[in-house]
Amino acid sequence: MTGPTYPPGQLPGANAIGGFIIGASQVGTVAPFNWWRTVISQYANSPVMMKIISDFFDAADLTPEIESFYDKMWNVLTAEGYGLDCWGTIVAVNRVLHLGAGPKYLGWDEGGTLDYDPFNQSPWYSGEKLTQNYILSDDGFRVLILAKAFSNICDGSIKSINRLLRMLFGYGGNTYCTDGLDMTMTYTFSFPLSPVELAIVTQSGVLPTPTGVSYTVVQP
């Protein structure tokens, strides 16, 4: 009775240091795909099956593709583009935010202070098409995904919400949530929020709000 057929250089315990096999294991960050680990025991002693799998792997090494899939799709910390969009679908958060108002430009008194600014404060309108939709960059969307993932499993307490606020806005200054003890809660920011940040607070669904509880946003 013959034992299982191991690929060259992958015999367990043969001149190995931990998981590193001397003279066989690749040096670097990308480890070669070990197809032997995917074979279940009932097929391990079949020379025909092992030959088919070995020949296929020799003809089509999928190590780069598997590594790329892990980095750009599976690992949320390194995922890019479509990979992050998939993670957004999983945790139920959108990359596109609808802003409440557009940017301010140079204008006159009749426009009102909410729409226009005087000289030396805002630029001239350059004629570009305006939109109230803002697409988050990969880095910004990744933070939003991680925050929403935490929100999905947190207990919804003031302590947990404050932790979420620090994850999202801790770079800008002090931010915290308080309970009004009358079915209301308040998000307080020590710094003015940009339209994008305000959309994250009010529209993204990242911050959990107990049923029947209203909230207000306080900022300078």
* Sequence letter at residue 177: C
Total residue length of the chain: 220
Which of 96-100, 105-109, 193-197, 204-208 has the least mean pLDDT? 105-109
Task: Provide the pLDDT for residue 133.
Answer: 78
Q: 214 with 183: CB under 8 angstroms?
A: yes
SS3 content of the chain, % helix, strand, coil (to 5): 35, 15, 50
Kindly state the average pLDDT of the residues 86-93: 91
Q: For residue 123, is pLDDT > 80?
A: no
Q: pLDDT confidence of 110, banded at 50, 70, 90?
A: very low
Report the pLDDT value the prediction gives residue 84, as an integer from 0 to 100. Answer: 93
Rounded distance, CA 82 to CA 75, Å? 12
Pairwise pLDDT comparison (3 vs 208), residue with the higher score: 208
Query: Residue 175 has which token pair?
Result: 């931010």
CA atoms within 13 Å, Cβ hemisphere of 163: 14
* 10: exposed, middle or buried (Cβ count in 10 Å: 0-12, 13-18, 19+): middle
pLDDT in tens, 145-155: 988 888 888 88
Q: How many CB atoms lie within 10 A of CB 151?
A: 21
Find, among 106, 33, 39, 27, the residue nearest to 70 by Cα. Answer: 33
